[in-house]
């Protein structure tokens, strides 16, 4: 770790302010000029009927005011320009905790675009999409092997929908047992989708407080786990990056009372290929293919949230499932116990292609190394920063480490300031203010796809900021200085929402 070059500081005459014509790229709608078009439409066919003869005027609309008119080069320039205002994984470390921003392999993209996949219609007869069905089958098998559970539904569109499908299956299984349970237990460290999901699945949430180690207190749990409780939803490792070493006892407590142990698998990267949730006593677990399995986030999606289930939950899986008989593969719509569909068609198929591509690109041993290196990198960062940043929990970290701004708060520098200042050093900030149980949390997940020198650069930058916070706190509070725009006024946006351009 070399001595840090300080990142830029503000001056009167801030040259970073972009003044070139296109750095303030206007909205598409503002760029519109009459008469432009970005496509060439086929000429009309001879003998075509007229629109007015096909649809009565009252069903038609007029020209849409405000729709832009742009040429192809306008569109290319617009999106190329604005894209450059984003920081990206392809530019460097993106250590967002809980988000597993790992390298998105490009071969995934090539495979998802194979015409045989990309061109297949979701309503085609099974006989014409045997390749798709076989792919879904292979992916389900791989995820079964990695989770140690009985089956996997590939239908959910994202992690939250996987949770939703999972909790509906829990509910259905309980009902099949003749039970109607009211509560779901959720630790206070949980991701927001967990309580939101439990609510939409028709449960009431009971929050469990984390103990001083950031884990669950077994006695608390024993007390809370009544026969009115349908499930405990827990994240493994939890959002502090800590593995609940009593997980099998936890499962036993839950199971003894007839409840289900729901695993939030968003953090699967910590142990993928290294240990199996099924072995831990987890009954149902969703995975985020857009985290552990490298499908790109794309600015917020699309992802996919397959949900793996134990044998008892299999009858309730969303329909259709992929099955195989002597004629080949087929979609099985005839699943009487099913919770039904959570979406149209067969799921985020293109995302599933990418995930399977990744799985084969790594192989079983490779996936084991993924978890190992993810954990090693997180611990290296922990070691590199723990003297300067407050570590609220001393428990061993797996794939991420959570600091707080306690030491910097002394100088009135907050987590937000640190995050913004990191941008001037060329890094995306960590996840901030989550988990909620840590005040001013800085949640750092380097993943396995950054090398040592990049971790060193990041540590160097974080240390430099800690130093700046002591010696020049205003500097940190005013950051960032080198980004396409300065610190944005989020309060104003919420107070006076402008949610669309108006013609």
Ligand X SMILES: Cc1ncc(COP(=O)(O)O)c(C=O)c1O
Q: Which residues contact 270 (CB under 8 A, 6 or more apart)?
A: 237, 241, 243, 371, 374, 375, 398, 399, 400
Q: Which residues contact 147 (CB under 8 A, 6 or more apart)?
A: 265, 276, 277, 278, 285, 287, 308
> Taking Cα atoms as reference points, which of 357, 374, 454 lies closest to residue 106?
357
Window 92-121: residues binding a copy of itself (CB under 8 A): 92, 103, 105-106
d(CA 306, CA 285): 8
Closer to ligand X by Cβ: residue 266 or 444: 266
Task: With H, G, I as helix, E, B as strand and everything else as coil, classify residue 326.
Answer: coil
Closer to ligand X by Cβ: residue 132 or 161: 161
Q: Which does 461 bind (CB under 5 to 8 A by kind): a copy of itself, ligand X, another protein, none?
A: a copy of itself
d(CA 136, CA 324): 11
Is 468 a binding residue for a copy of itself by CB under 8 A? The answer is: no
d(CA 317, CA 151): 9
Closer to a copy of itself by Cβ: residue 60 or 73: 73
Q: Which does 441 bind (CB under 5 to 8 A by kind): ligand X, a copy of itself, another protein, none?
A: none
Closer to another protein by Cβ: residue 152 or 339: 339
Among 70, 216, 230, 266, binds ligand X (CB under 6 A): 266
DSSP 88: -
Q: Which does 457 bind (CB under 5 to 8 A by kind): another protein, a copy of itself, ligand X, none?
A: a copy of itself
Closer to ligand X by Cβ: residue 244 or 264: 264
- Please choose, out of 67-75, 128-136, 157-165, 422-430, the segment that lies near ligand X by the rule CB under 6 A: 157-165
Contact 74/108 with Cβ under 8 angstroms?
A: no
> Taking Cα atoms as reference points, which of 82, 69, 70, 67 lies closest to residue 502?
67
| Other CB atoms within 10 A of residue 270 CB | 24
Q: Which does 15 bind (CB under 5 to 8 A by kind): another protein, a copy of itself, ligand X, none?
A: a copy of itself
Among 7, 146, 160, 168, binds ligand X (CB under 6 A): 160
Contact 351/303 with Cβ under 8 angstroms?
A: yes
Window 404-433: residues binding a copy of itself (CB under 8 A): 424-427
Phi/psi of residue 204, each to 5°?
-100, 140
The length of the chain in residues reads 503
Q: State the nearest-atom distance from the C-beta of 185 to ligand X, in Å.
A: 16
Q: Which does 387 bind (CB under 5 to 8 A by kind): another protein, a copy of itself, ligand X, none?
A: none
Is 461 a binding residue for a copy of itself by CB under 8 A? The answer is: yes
Q: State the nearest-atom distance from the C-beta of 106 to a copy of itself, in Å.
A: 8
- SS3 letters for 289-312? CCCCCCCCCCCCCCCCCCEEECHH
Token duo for residue 138: 């292979």
Closer to ligand X by Cβ: residue 399 or 420: 399
Q: Which does 98 bind (CB under 5 to 8 A by kind): ligand X, a copy of itself, another protein, none?
A: ligand X
Closer to another protein by Cβ: residue 326 or 489: 489
> Taking Cα atoms as reference points, which of 450, 425, 442 lies closest to residue 374?
450
Q: Which residues contact 500 (CB under 8 A, 6 or more apart)?
A: none
Closer to ligand X by Cβ: residue 28 or 196: 196
DSSP β-ladder status, 229-235 and 260-265: parallel
Is 352 a binding residue for ligand X by CB under 6 A? The answer is: no
Q: Which residues contact 127 (CB under 8 A, 6 or more apart)?
A: 328
Q: Which does 487 bind (CB under 5 to 8 A by kind): ligand X, another protein, a copy of itself, none?
A: another protein
Among 193, 294, 338, 377, binds ligand X (CB under 6 A): 193
Burial class of residue 380 in the structure, from the number of CB atoms within 10 Å of its CB (0-12 exposed, 13-18 middle, 19+ buried): middle
d(CA 244, CA 371): 17
Is 379 a binding residue for a copy of itself by CB under 8 A? The answer is: no
Q: State the nearest-atom distance from the C-beta of 457 to a copy of itself, in Å.
A: 4
Closer to another protein by Cβ: residue 311 or 493: 493
Binding mask 232-261 for ligand X (x = CB under 6 A): ---x---x----------------------
Is 23 a binding residue for a copy of itself by CB under 8 A? The answer is: yes
Binding mask 272-291 for ligand X (x = CB under 6 A): ----------------x---
Kindly provide the b/e burial profile for residues 195-223, where b requires at least 16 CB atoms within 10 angstroms of the residue's own CB: bebbeebebebbebebeeebbbbeeebee
The count of C-alpha atoms lying within 13 angstroms of the C-alpha of 33, restricted to the half-sphere facing its C-beta, is 7
Phi/psi of residue 7, each to 5°?
-70, 165
Q: State the nearest-atom distance from the C-beta of 6 to a copy of itself, in Å.
A: 8
Among 264, 283, 405, 457, binds ligand X (CB under 6 A): 264
The CA–CA distances, whole Å, from 89 to 95, 157, 460 equal 9, 23, 19
Is 159 a binding residue for ligand X by CB under 6 A? The answer is: yes
Window 319-378: residues binding a copy of itself (CB under 8 A): 361
Cα-trace Rg, the chain? 26
Token duo for residue 253: 């407590």
- Please choose, out of 38-46, 104-112, 158-166, 330-338, the segment that lies near ligand X by the rule CB under 6 A: 158-166
Chain residues binding a copy of itself by CB under 8 A are: 5-17, 19-23, 31, 33, 36, 40, 71-74, 76-77, 80-81, 84, 88, 90-92, 103, 105-106, 361, 424-427, 449-454, 457, 461, 481-482
Site residues, ligand X (CB under 6 A)? 98, 158-160, 191, 193, 235, 239, 264, 266, 288, 303, 305
């Amino acid at each position: 770790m070399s001595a840090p070059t300080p990142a830029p500081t503000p001056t009167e005459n801030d040259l970073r302010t972009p003044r070139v014509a296109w750095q303030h790229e206007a909205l598409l709608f503002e760029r519109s000029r009459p008469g432009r078009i970005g496509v060439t439409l086929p000429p009309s066919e001879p003998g075509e009927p007229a629109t007015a003869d096909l649809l009565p005027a009252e069903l038609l609309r007029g020209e849409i005011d405000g729709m832009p008119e742009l040429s192809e080069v306008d569109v290319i320039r617009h999106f190329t320009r604005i894209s450059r205002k984003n920081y990206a994984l392809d530019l460097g470390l993106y250590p967002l905790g809980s988000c597993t921003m790992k390298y998105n392999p490009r071969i995934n993209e090539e495979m998802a675009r194979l015409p045989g996949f990309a061109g297949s219609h979701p309503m085609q007869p099974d006989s014409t999409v045997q390749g798709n069905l076989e792919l879904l089958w292979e992916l389900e098998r791989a995820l079964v092997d990695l989770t140690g559970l009985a089956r996997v539904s590939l239908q959910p569109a994202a992690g939250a929908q996987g949770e939703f499908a999972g909790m509906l299956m829990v509910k259905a299984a309980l009902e099949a047992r003749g039970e109607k349970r009211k509560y779901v237990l959720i630790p206070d460290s949980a991701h927001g989708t967990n309580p939101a999901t439990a609510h939409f699945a028709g449960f009431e949430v009971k929050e469990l407080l984390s103990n001083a180690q950031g884990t669950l207190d077994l006695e608390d749990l024993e007390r809370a786990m009544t026969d009115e409780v349908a499930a405990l939803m827990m994240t493994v490792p939890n959002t502090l990056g800590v593995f609940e070493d009593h997980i099998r006892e936890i499962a036993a407590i839950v199971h003894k009372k007839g409840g289900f142990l729901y695993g939030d698998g968003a953090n699967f990267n910590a142990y993928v290929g290294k240990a199996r949730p099924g072995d831990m006593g987890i009954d149902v677990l969703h995975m985020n293919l857009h985290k552990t399995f490298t499908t790109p986030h794309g600015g917020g999606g699309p992802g996919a949230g397959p949900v793996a289930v134990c044998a008892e939950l299999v009858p309730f899986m969303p329909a259709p499932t992929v099955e195989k008989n002597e004629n080949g593969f087929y979609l099985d719509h005839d699943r009487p116990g099913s919770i039904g569909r959570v979406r149209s068609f067969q799921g985020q198929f293109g995302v599933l292609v990418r995930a399977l591509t990744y799985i084969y690109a790594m192989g079983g041993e490779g996936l084991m190394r993924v978890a190992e290196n993810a954990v090693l990198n997180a611990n290296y960062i922990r070691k590199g920063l723990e003297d300067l940043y407050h570590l609220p929990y001393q428990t061993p970290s797996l794939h991420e480490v959570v600091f707080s701004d306690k030491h910097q708060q002394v100088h009135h520098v907050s987590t937000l300031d640190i995050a913004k200042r990191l941008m001037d050093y060329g890094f995306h900030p960590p996840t901030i203010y989550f988990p909620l149980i840590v005040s001013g949390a800085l949640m750092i997940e380097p993943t396995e796809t950054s090398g040592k020198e990049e971790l060193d650069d990041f540590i160097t930058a974080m240390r430099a900021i800690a130093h700046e916070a002591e010696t020049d706190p205003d500097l940190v509070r005013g950051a960032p200085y080198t980004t396409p725009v300065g610190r944005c006024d989020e309060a104003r946006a919420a107070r006076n929402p402008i949610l669309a351009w108006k013609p």
